[in-house]
Structure 1
Amino acid sequence: MKYIDEFRDGDKARHIARLIHQQVRGGRSYRLMEFCGGHTHAIFRDGLVDLLPQEIELIHGPGCPVCVLPMARLDMAIELAQNPQVILCTYGDMLRVPASGGTSLLKVRAEGGDVRMVYSPLDVLALARDNPERQVVFFAIGFETTTPPTALVLRQADQLGFTNLSIFCNHVLTPAAMHAILSDDGPRHLDGFIGPAHVSTVIGSQAYQVFPEQYKKPVVIAGFEPLDVLQAILLLVRQLNAGRAEVENEFTRAVTPQGNLKARQLMDEVFTLRDRFEWRGLGSLPRSALRVRPELAHLDAEERFTFSAGQSRENKACECPAVLRGLKRPSECPLFGNPCSPENPLGSCMVSSEGACAAYYSYGRNRTQEQRLARG
């Protein structure tokens, strides 16, 4: 663990923080969005917000795949799980996300539905092999980070001739969400992005070049360790002070300009772009998500199963959509902390391990940014 420990060195963190304090200019603000929920948790968990000057405001973005999935898609998964012929598989975070009527996949399982948590999509292949009399559906979800493993399962299932396995695809694309945020930037006026780490290992740093070019906003890709995040903030401050807007890669130990070419090729082989896809908080976005290619329709759950046209009912008091757009902080939601908590989540931002509400509750619910600014 020595290599990781070097990125958690307290003395070095305080040194970078001093450099940030020296670089910021009084009388102006630096409004930076950390797109990824992993960064949000790192910022609160490691106390980074207390090291920053009051001129820097960190805004939490929509980079949590569980959080941005609209309730209508979860209701479709609930419908699959209630089918006695189906074994529904998904990642653990999805089990407790509230669906319409207060139900969830966990509650469906308690009522007899065959819902199984998997750690790897490859587990789904084993389940389909061991249960030839059942239909095994993988509720696939995530940004580009988790898309290649799903693509691998699709390709292997096709090559092995599985007839009882299908994918309910909910993979979404990071650049599309960033476009949506910047296209509607009036309410928040972002100055720059802390770019996601794991996503960037797949799509590469060049995928963000459009944002400095089109919107004049700098992007600095950062890892998830404390020194990564602080260094990214320092690089963003320097760019903004100099009037520059560029893509910089702080996470050079894992991210290359082109990304993972083999993973991208595999994704292109089995997935195609949807014309539009609904996001929680961001609305219907063009070319923002993937679906199984038509030539693999026999492995597409949306082609194999018929879904009812029920109306999904969001909790109107939940501010998760505004939190995902960076318009509100979790503590501004009337449900935050009571009654909504990780033990009793009423919105996806509280239940997800990458959700902003979960980060606020776990690490900072008794200390708001306003209190920090007053201290500063």
Structure 2
Amino acid sequence: MPGGTDILNALKKEMDKPYTFMHICGTHEAAIAHSGLRSILPDNLKIVMGPGCPVCITPQGEIDAAIDLAEKDCIIATYGDLMRVPGTKGALDSIGKDVRVVQGVHKAVEIAEKTDQEVVFISVGFETTAPTVAATILQEPPENFSILSCHRFVPPAMKYLLEQGEAKLDGFLLPGHVCVVAGYQEYEQFPVPQVVGGFEPEDILLGLLMLVKQVKEGRAEVENAYPRAVSREGNPKAMHMMYEVFEPCDVEWRGFPIIPNSGLRLKEKYAAYDAQKKFGIEIKHVEKHSSCICDKVLRGVADPTDCKLFGKVCTPRKPVGPCMVSHEGACKIWALYNQKKY
């Protein structure tokens, strides 16, 4: 790969008008902020973050459902990022119930193997984490183990963004981690410039350069700037396991309405591991009552610093919205790296 300076110089030469590109990966946002990329990009090139943080796009109704399960005296196991996301009745880390941070679904199963109490894993994530959960279910974990499936697919959210046209976008930097597993065939349906990007500063600069060239040349295709890790077909074995256990369903995303076929639910064959069915839990839509603009940040129509709460009422120590909680959330990343508009 050419050096970062060479790519940046080539990018600057290609710039002939303002461009706005969206990435859909919290790790991309962290890499951009950590490396200070926005400060060296051409003034007329803007990168916005979309719904690429799985914790951030988990709607409040699902947080409330997790709290309901904890109040039924289930042991709740989940990733640390989800612990502080506010629900209607508080956050998982403040309800005084048995809620434990685990590194993955296998650790939740280990807890279930050592107790007679019901253990529920709050299963969030995109195509990156769903196959590992599917593999665990296929291994027939203990009867006292179940999951609350909060998984999401990325392509349906992209389809919604393109159809709405709310964010004026010239193209997308596709999520490298998701594409390692799922490949990028599903993205070829979209008539817009797209590039699969890696996570080093040079990877991101190369992706942006390739996007600008696509726009200038009137092309709308999927190119791969991360071939050392991503192939068009991804990991077919992992995807096969995922579809063996899960099936697509219509679900709400935070900041979005219900998006068709954008979620994953357990197939009827595996209903015994479905906490929602097992405990009669209903996931309800919750109307927004806060001044938090996480919903706009996730749709790419606002920056974290546009929020009047940012850095004042809402901080990483005392978050108001989920984008200030997760290490993949734009607000927390901008707060940690003192990111500003450029």
Quote the residue 2:118 is aligned against: 135
- Hey, which of these two has a bigger chunk of helix by percent? 1
Alignment match of 2:267 (pick from 252, 274, 293): 293
Quote the residue 1:104 is aligned against: 91
1:301-327 deviation digits (Å, cap 9, x = unpaired):
111002367774534201010110011
Contact 2:167 2:299 in 1 (8 A): no
1:251-297 deviation digits (Å, cap 9, x = unpaired):
101111111010001001100111x1011011111111000000111
Q: Is residue 161 of structure 2 the alignment partner of residue 173 of structure 1?
A: no
Quote the residue 1:122 is aligned against: 106
| Stretches of structure 1 lacking an aligned partner (at least 5 in a row) | 1-6, 370-376
Contact 1:221 1:251 in 2 (8 A): yes
Tell me how large the CA RMSD over aligned residues is. Answer: 1.5
Listed as ranges, the matches of 1:194-273 within 5 Å are 194-212=173-191, 217-273=192-248
Shift in alpha-carbon separation, 1:198–1:309, aligned structure 2, 3 A: closer
Count of aligned pairs: 342
1:334-365 deviation digits (Å, cap 9, x = unpaired):
11111101100000001011011111111134
Contact 2:275 2:281 in 1 (8 A): no
CA distance in 2, matches of 1:309, 1:58: 34
CA distance in 1, matches of 2:282, 2:270: 23
Quote the residue 1:372 is aligned against: none
What SS does the corresponding residue of 1:144 show, helix, strand or coil?
coil
Structure of greater Rg: 1
Listed as ranges, the matches of 1:31-180 within 5 Å are 31-84=20-73, 86-101=74-89, 103-108=90-95, 111=96, 113-131=97-115, 133-157=116-140, 162-180=142-160
What SS does the corresponding residue of 2:239 show, helix, strand or coil?
helix
The two structures have a TM-score, normalised by structure 1, of: 0.88
What SS does the corresponding residue of 2:67 show, helix, strand or coil?
helix
Contact 2:77 2:100 in 1 (8 A): yes
The two structures have a TM-score, normalised by structure 2, of: 0.97
1:229-262 deviation digits (Å, cap 9, x = unpaired):
0000010011111111110011101111111010
Contact 2:119 2:145 in 1 (8 A): yes
Amino acid at match of 1:195: L
Give the 4+ runs in structure 1 shifted more than 3 A.
Answer: 308-315
What SS does the corresponding residue of 1:239 show, helix, strand or coil?
helix
Percent identity, please. 40
CA distance in 2, matches of 1:87, 1:118: 12
